[in-house]
């Protein structure tokens, strides 16, 4: 795997330090191994859904935590009894930890588990102060001299 040095980007870009950190994090990508598989779906302009294939996990074995701009989904598999003897084991029953980087103003609004799929719903809520606003053009005002 190639390692890229993003230090020059930090020096020449003003205000893009977070973007450089995200690119650096994506390049390293140490924690995410591809398990469990997931989809990220755009439902409409401000709604998203992450769907993860978590076959074999119960609700009690899954933990979803949202802190700041990070969403952490963790699956902890309970210890299996030694009574089972597999001839072939193709269903992964190992624990996992998957972290998603959330954009500004994106929050988790709910999650549900159905048919082995964990659905996490997200919504982007831009504060009113940051939304574009129309500036009315009126008659120019002149300063009155005292």
> Taking the complete model, does pTM exceed 0.75, yes or no?
no
Structure tokens that stand for 7 in this block: 């230090």
As a whole number of angstroms, the distance between CA 103 and CA 98 comes to 16
For the domain spanning 31-126, the CATH number is 2.60.40.790
Q: 73, 102 in Cβ contact below 8 A?
A: no
26-62 tens-digit pLDDT = 555 555 567 899 999 999 988 999 999 998 899 999 9
Range(s) within the chain of domains with CATH label 2.60.40.790: 31-126
As a whole number of angstroms, the distance between CA 49 and CA 119 comes to 7
User: What is the DSSP-derived secondary structure letter of residue 61?
Assistant: G
């Amino acid at each position: 795997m190639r390692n890229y040095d993003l230090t020059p980007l930090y020096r020449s870009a003003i205000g893009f330090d977070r973007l450089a950190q995200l690119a650096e994090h994506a390049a390293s990508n140490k924690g995410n191994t591809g398990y469990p598989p997931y989809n990220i779906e755009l439902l409409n302009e401000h709604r998203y859904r992450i769907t993860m294939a978590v076959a074999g996990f119960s609700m009690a074995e899954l933990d979803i935590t949202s802190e700041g701009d990070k969403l952490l989904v963790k699956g902890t598999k309970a210890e299996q009894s030694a009574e089972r003897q597999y001839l072939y084991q193709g269903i992964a029953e190992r624990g996992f930890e998957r972290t998603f980087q959330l954009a500004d103003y994106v929050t988790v609004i709910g999650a549900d588990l159905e048919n082995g799929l964990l659905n996490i719903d997200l919504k982007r809520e831009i504060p009113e102060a940051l939304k574009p606003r129309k500036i009315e053009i009126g008659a120019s005002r002149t300063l009155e001299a005292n």
